[in-house]
Structure 1
Amino acid sequence: MNSQPPDPPPAEPVRRTGGRSARVCAAVHRAVTELIAEGGADQLSIPAVATRAGVNPTSVYRRWGDLNGLLADVTATRLAPEDPPPDTGSLRTDLLQWAERTRAAITTPEVQALLRHAVGQSATCPGPTPRMAAREQQLATILTRAAERGEPSPTLGQGLDHLLAPLYFRVILNLGPIEPADARRLVDDLLRHHTGTCNSTA
């Protein structure tokens, strides 16, 4: 009879987070945004991105498949809201802060180029994109909170049509710069026409 204790179970493999994979991803994303800002999405290629990022093109193909897959990932990452929706206790203040964050996020040269490319790809990718879905969810949260506080609130559809869509529309069609005052005006127009309330002194 063997009195030796049983061998311990094999150790679980150590899963590394970050590391080289994260560095490669960050370098590739940075290369895409730099190249797009310089020449637009139409001038991009996997070899050009790989050269700028200092990685092997094979690594880019293996991770993202093709240029469209890479651009979709970069766009979703760059446009994903980094902060939770504002919760100041006032619908107008929440909308003002949210609209300004959105305006600032989508008016950089690289994001404008990414958005225009995404529109060109939308015919083969029906339905809401993750980047728009995230903004829509934030707006829905703001409006729901206001309604729960008893504030007169527009519907989500009204918010999309009269606030979010105009911001994106002007960027995508290159209709000129969008200033902070433009975002404030859109918020006040939304509240004035769909709730009958607007305090433009803030």
Structure 2
Amino acid sequence: MAIKEAVRPGGRSARVQEAVHQAVRELQTIKARDELTVPQIAERAGVTPSTIYRRWGNLSELVADVSVERMRPDEDPADTGTLAGDLLAWGQHYLEEMTSVPGQRALNDVMASAHDERRERCCRYSESLMTTLHDRALSRGETPPPICKLIDGVVAPMTYRLLYDRDSATVDNLQRWIDCTLQDGDAGVACRQ
């Protein structure tokens, strides 16, 4: 089954999506995850259960879709005056959020989704964020490594550690990943950009 809402839909479709997503977020604050049901979500959102099944297929895919949206940055990352500082400020915030119980659930939901499109959206969020930081560094006169190097050197190890070795997803390791990435510059980088 293909996901219909690869881009944010407009009109009624957007209103339904927002109402259902909001209902899931609200219910997750008052109920354990295994207590959530499609009929409860539908009632709270003011839609029929068939609307949810038609659009998302099942509860797991709906929760994964809500989790992907949770990972989308709400605003540009802080401008600290240097690329190293920007990466550290963003990374600290991301680690704090993703090591929390809701953050871990969001990561697990996205990884468990049967739809590659959800993981691809997370990838696009990371690429967009690193592009923002890269371009900001350029505008300040810095010489940042390519965007793919920022992703491979900072985002990839953070993601791996958050998924498979959460205890090593630390600010100290983040600082090390940033230092190594910025220190190496363009050396040995084969980008697919």
Could you say whether these structures have the same fold, taking a TM-score greater than 0.5 normalized by the shorter chain as the test? Answer: yes
Structure 1 residues 155-166: aligned runs within 5 Å:
155-166=146-157
Report the secondary structure of 1:181's partner residue. helix
1:62 corresponds to which of 46, 51, 56: 51
Q: Distance in 2 between matches of 1:77 and 1:138?
A: 15
Q: Distance in 2 between matches of 1:26 and 1:56?
A: 7
What percentage of aligned pairs have identical amino acids? 23
2:22 paired residue number: 26
1:46 corresponds to which of 31, 37, 53: 37
- The number of equivalent residue pairs is 173
Q: Which runs of 5+ in 1 are unaligned?
A: 1-14, 197-202
| TM-fit CA distance, 1:45 | 5.6
1:109 paired residue number: 101
Q: Distance in 2 between matches of 1:77 and 1:193?
A: 33
Indicate the structure (1 or 2) with the bigger Cα radius of gyration.
1
Cα 1:175–1:103, aligned 2, differ >3 Å: closer, same or farther?
A: closer
Report the secondary structure of 2:144's partner residue. coil
Report the secondary structure of 2:167's partner residue. coil
Cα 1:50–1:133, aligned 2, differ >3 Å: closer, same or farther?
A: same
Note if 1:85 corresponds to 2:81.
no
| TM-fit CA distance, 1:165 | 0.9
**Amino acid paired to 2:76:** P
2:173 corresponds to which of 177, 182, 194: 182
Structure 1 residues 121-140: aligned runs within 5 Å:
121=113, 124-125=115-116, 129-140=120-131
Cα 1:25–1:74, aligned 2, differ >3 Å: closer, same or farther?
A: closer
138-147 or 58-67, which moves further after superposition?
58-67
**Amino acid paired to 2:102:** E
> RMSD value over aligned CA atoms?
3.6
Q: Is the 8 A contact 1:33 1:110 kept in 2?
A: no
